[in-house]
Amino acid sequence: MLFVVAVAVVAVVVSCGEVDWGAEEEAVKLLNDYHKEAAQVLHNYIKVSWDYNTNITDYNNERQKEASSRTRRFNDKWSKRSRDFVDLDLTSDTRRMMRKAFQMELNEEDGKNLSQILSNMSTIYSTAQVCLQGQQCMELDPELTNIMANSRNYSQLVEVWEGWRKNVSRKIKPYYLQYLELMNEKAKLNDFSDAGQMWRNEYETEGFEEAMEELYREIRPLYNLVHAYVRKRLREHYQIDPRGALPACVLGDIWGRIKMCTQVTMDDLQVAHHELGHVQYFMQYAHLPLTYRDGANGGFHEAIGELVGAVMETPQHLNKVGLLPHPPSGPGHEGPLHTCDLHGSEEAGRVLA
């Protein structure tokens, strides 16, 4: 009896965080070896992806698919090696790094299929055209983007919006369904119930969904006010139900996440700063081990971008770079946003134009 209790106590102590230093040393060595090879394999993959994304040709598409297969095989080899370490007692940092570095991959055939599906979806998106009645066919950037931003002709906006969905969304749908199937399969290989759970896990937050729900509830009163304000302004141009939802086609864009052909406008200046925020974050983590050269999570990366974008729009900064002729009167507001703050960026937008 005494013996059983003693064993139970030892078991509890070990599983609560005692570190097996021999295993820890081997795990750290495994990660170091992995980082050395991965630095080359991933560099090559990113380079080939860049060539493809900035110059979509069949040849670059083939190279991208080959690089993707090579990377998948590479990841597969290392995640298999790392399996021996799953149940060992490592420091929490090493365990975390291993979890981020090593994921089980789909088999060769499914992996090829997935990479082909991704490539087909991105080709459809990047090469689609919409052909308006009696006009030449137009691509997303710059023609369709310009119409969405500048036209006040409701039926033209609807035509572009629907044309885009006919030529992009409908063609992407069958690939997207297969993509879901394969991603769910990959999630299961990594002990998640589905791809959604795998993605949420990236945030490393207990009760992540409840926390998001709570944030949404908190911000909803502000969101309702902004929504009502936007609806009021849009009603100056369009017949919109004064109490209803906003039609998506009059909001100024077609929802791109794409290469950017920048124009000299306040919006694009803001986006450029947002993107530079990402670049600044890249540089801040460049010295970390390869596995940690990424945002803490995707949301945090966006938050840094948004922060830099928002700071750019303060009256103080706009005045400093010559976009706001009159210096702000005081040290700037604290607390609630004032209409004069919004006025500052409208005025700067006019200077830019």
Q: Which is closer to ligand NAG, CB of 97 or CB of 130?
A: 130
The helix-helix angle for 266-284 and 339-352 (nearest 10°) equals 100
Of the candidates 335, 312, 317, the residue with the CA atom closest to the CA atom of residue 327: 317
Draw the binding track, 120-149, toward ligand NAG (x: CB under 6 A; -: no contact). Answer: x--------xxxx----x------------
Is residue 18 within 8 Å of 89, Cβ to Cβ? Answer: yes
C-alpha to C-alpha distance for 201 and 207, rounded to whole angstroms: 10
Q: Which is closer to ligand NAG, CB of 97 or CB of 117?
A: 117
Is 203 flagged in the annotation as binding?
yes
Minimum CB separation of residue 20 from ligand NAG in Å reads: 40
Considering just the CA atoms, what is the radius of gyration of the chain in Å?
26
Instruction: Please report whether residue 49 would count as binding ligand NAG according to CB under 6 A.
Output: no
How far the first Cα of the chain sits from its last, in Å, is 84
Minimum CB separation of residue 353 from ligand NAG in Å reads: 23
Q: Which is closer to ligand NAG, CB of 59 or CB of 223?
A: 59
Instruction: Please report whether residue 60 would count as binding ligand NAG according to CB under 6 A.
Output: yes
Q: Give the 3-state DSSP-derived string for 21-53, with helices as H, strands as E and coil as C.
A: HHHHHHHHHHHHHHHHHHHHHHHHHHHHHHHHH
Helix (H, G, I), strand (E, B) or coil at 58: helix
Q: Which is closer to ligand NAG, CB of 137 or CB of 222?
A: 137
Q: Which is closer to ligand NAG, CB of 92 or CB of 135?
A: 135
Is residue 97 within 8 Å of 291, Cβ to Cβ? Answer: yes
Draw the binding track, 156-195, toward ligand NAG (x: CB under 6 A; -: no contact). Answer: x--x---x--xx----------x--xx-------------
Contacts of 219 (CB under 8 A, 6+ apart): none
The footprint of ligand NAG on this chain (CB under 6 A) covers a number of residues equal to 24
Minimum CB separation of residue 70 from ligand NAG in Å reads: 19
Token couple for 260: 């950017």
**Which chain residues interact with ligand NAG by CB under 6 A?**
55, 57, 59-60, 110, 113, 116-117, 120, 129-132, 137, 153, 155-156, 159, 163, 166-167, 178, 181-182
* Annotation: binding site for chloride: 203
